[in-house]
Structure 1
Amino acid sequence: MKPTIKDVAKRAGVSFKTVSRVINRESTVGQELQDKVWKAIKELNYQPNLSARVLRGAASSIGFIYDNPNSNYVIEMQRGILDECRRQDYELVIHPCDAKSPELLEEIFGMVDRSRVGGLVLTPPMSEMPEVLEALTERSIRFVRILSGSQPPDTLSPCVFVDDRTAAYNITQYLIDLGHRHIAFLGGEEAHKSSVERLAGYQQALKENQIDADPRLIIKGEYAFESGVKRTRQLLALTPRPTAVFACNDEIAAGTLFAARLAGVDVPRDLSIVGFEDSPFSRQAWPNLTTARQPNADIARTAAELLVHQIRHRKGDKPTDSEGFYPQLVVRDSTCPPPSRTPASS
């Protein structure tokens, strides 16, 4: 016969309500009692009943909503959220959607009503759309935002912020320190604040080094390989050509590398390339791409953890804090000093 919650309570020497609080990871139970309960659960091989949780009206799942063409980004996000859901005994409902759709809010509400999720993890651009946040707040739907910024933008809800601006500044400064002055910037969709923040970091580094920003070297586009190829062809047609390209993500950077190869441009001798994210593109490309490491799985895992804490939050508990991530420069083989600064071979 399968063990019940009362069997666990008896083995641990506590009430079944205490066992329930421990399983739901409520902060009101002391560590010593938690250890006793988890020990009993392991010994009895007890499996919490998620359907019973639903019948009590308690949430047993959370939702992940996204609109992002970058498949590596989405996969890493899903992995991080799923890891935390498994740890917390929650199910995950994944819902891709079109942020430009006029029916976006109706679609989100419909998913929440059908799936009875306890809350949502929102990624850009939805996490940065005021109309979405206001509508969710009005409906009392809990959410945690993953967004670009150096700090939480408000106290509307907990968020996981990524300091794209500082990382972009550091990338650009690294290229300047190598001797580059003609540095191109290939952005992503402007609906994603990350593209705006990375452009701001790039421009700040140029300004502080008294380098005039050439508007011809700043080209808008999409977070996609094909967009990187197309825009790099534009750059290579310029006179003089840029000696370095800062691509807003690794997919764009891989497209830049591909276009340079087709044009017979040596990377990094004639053109240095830097991406952003440290996705598989950066490690599978040859040469391996210099980039900024953005730990998407950890970011997503943290967002899910904040959301579950928010769902279980009781009146009087300490509010859920936001968390920040700071992408770090990873120097690989796709960058070097510009041709005039490269030491001559003996």
Structure 2
Amino acid sequence: MAATIKSVAEMAGVSIKTVSRVINKEGTVKPDTLKRVEEAITALKYTPNKAARDLASKGASVLGYVYDNPNAYYIIDMQKGILDVCRKNNFELLIHPCDASSKDIAKELVDMVDTAKLAGLILSPPLSEMPDVLGELDDNNINYVRILSGDGAFDSSLPYVLVNDFKAAFDITQHLIKQGHTHIAFIAGDEIHKSTIERFNGYKAALKDANIAFDESLVIKGTYSFETGVKSAETILAMPSHPSAVFACNDEIAAGTLFGARMKGVDVPNDLAIAGFENSPFSRQTFPPLTTASQPTNEIAQHAAASLIQFLRAKKAKLPHENLVHTFVPELVVRASTEKAS
């Protein structure tokens, strides 16, 4: 296994920040400490990450996008949106996938910001919704913008972008109800994501609005994955009186549910209507295509990057800045997976 800056720091008995200073020849390290770090680098045959050094040399015109999300389509759209804004504003972008469940995730981000000399971070869920991570970033005076699920104002001096998952989930469930469905299952995504909670609450609110009793047995826990949908289809179709409709927490789950239903010979939508969320390529590539909520991920990413850059420039110029907030409401897109044949 190749040596890392962390292993060098451990061997030399110093912090990662100190190793970074030695690598970047900042001249602020004591001679004996410098010697220990250089000996550790030699012993471990450590080669500093060229990309990180190149970015660091550009000064404070580098942003970092940090994510832990298995949805490749979401990540691609996020990267495209952020890169578009960065290029227009002469900023570089460092992309950093990570494991949000790691006990050292906060330290990992702080060290990355220091090593690559980042001006700020763009955080998407679940990292943007983790108080411990945000607290560590605040304690180290790290600038960031959050993309998170919600529809209300937050007490924050830093910019953030909201996605009103509750309203979109309400609209999807209401659509299913208007199609005559009263026995509607809900397939949840990862509990660590606030979007799961907001979409679930929107589902329940629509049922209540239509005077339909909430049935906890129709709620299936899962993850944001195709496999969750396939397994959930088996569970749903095995129910003594299975639901006539399913609201899946995202399009991957919905596509898996559709696959599982068709494997059992179920007619979608006449025997089982299925709706997803996000309007990813999954929703358009299935047969029948999926009803969903269109989440403008690329536009969300652009707003997040632009808000952070605007904030950084105002801060650098010591100018007052307003709390930059923008809310997106994913729009209902009705397709054949929920439309019964007339």
Match of 2:320 in 1: 317
- Following superposition, the deviation at residue 133 of structure 1 comes to 1.0
Match of 2:224 in 1: 223
- Following superposition, the deviation at residue 54 of structure 1 comes to 6.8
Match of 1:93 in 2: 94
- CA distance in 2 between partners of 1:270 and 1:53 (Å): 55
CA contact (8 A) 1:309 1:320 kept: no
> TM-score if structure 1 supplies the norm length?
0.80
> TM-score if structure 2 supplies the norm length?
0.81
Matches within 5 A, 1:1-346: 58-313=59-314, 314-337=317-340, 343=342
What one-letter code is carried by the residue in structure 2 that aligns with 1:211?
I
- CA distance in 2 between partners of 1:221 and 1:202 (Å): 16
CA contact (8 A) 1:294 1:326 kept: yes
- Following superposition, the deviation at residue 152 of structure 1 comes to 3.0
- Following superposition, the deviation at residue 150 of structure 1 comes to 0.7
The runs of 5 or more residues in structure 2 that have no matched partner are 1-52
CA contact (8 A) 1:61 1:118 kept: yes
Which stretch of structure 1 is more off in the superposition, 107-116 or 257-266? 107-116
- TM-superposition CA deviations, 1:296-317 (whole Å, max 9, x none): 0110111000111111113233
Partner SS, residue 191 of structure 1: coil
What one-letter code is carried by the residue in structure 2 that aligns with 1:221?
G
- CA distance in 2 between partners of 1:225 and 1:105 (Å): 29
Which stretch of structure 1 is more off in the superposition, 306-315 or 294-303? 306-315
- CA distance in 2 between partners of 1:82 and 1:286 (Å): 33
- CA distance in 2 between partners of 1:102 and 1:133 (Å): 14
- CA distance in 1 between partners of 2:126 and 2:246 (Å): 25
- CA distance in 2 between partners of 1:53 and 1:85 (Å): 13
- TM-superposition CA deviations, 1:68-123 (whole Å, max 9, x none): 11111111111111111111111110001111101101211121111111000001
Q: CA RMSD in A?
A: 1.7
What one-letter code is carried by the residue in structure 2 that aligns with 1:335?
T
Q: Give identity over the alignment, percent.
A: 52
Structure 1 residues 53 and 236: alpha-carbon distance in aligned structure 2, compared to 1, 3 A threshold: closer
Structure 1's consecutive aligned runs of 4 or more residues displaced over 6 angstroms after TM superposition are: 51-55
